[in-house]
Amino acid sequence: MMGYGPEDKTAVLELTYNYGVTEYDKGNAYAQIAIGTDDVYKTAEAVKLFGGKITREPGPLPGISTKITACLDPDGWKSVFVDNVDFLKELE
């Protein structure tokens, strides 16, 4: 389980292992996960170091200046890393 704060007051992500399942069908849906990070540039470098594919180089989004980077995991699922400080400024 991953989350920030009590389960009844925030979003919680539960990761499970499905024993015996070797393939998943993504269907025609679009999905990604956003993860907070203190430094999108260092995060992108770490992803590259371990062989990950960056799909959006780290930097600010036009119009809102929140820094992000995006990558694909080995199975092709997209993850977006969002700068923690920038995101909190968006919420003000």
Identify whether the C-beta of residue 69 lies closer than 8 Å to the C-beta of residue 80.
yes
φ, ψ dihedrals at 40, nearest 5°: -65, -30
Nearest to 70 by CA among 30, 84, 59: 59
Longest dimension (CA), the chain: 45
Q: Where is pLDDT greater, at 35 or 32? A: 35
Nearest to 72 by CA among 50, 41, 92, 39: 50
pTM higher than the cut 0.75: no
pLDDT 10s digits, 7-30 = 777 667 777 878 888 877 767 666
Q: Please give the distance of CA 65 from its chain centroid, rounded to a whole number.
A: 18
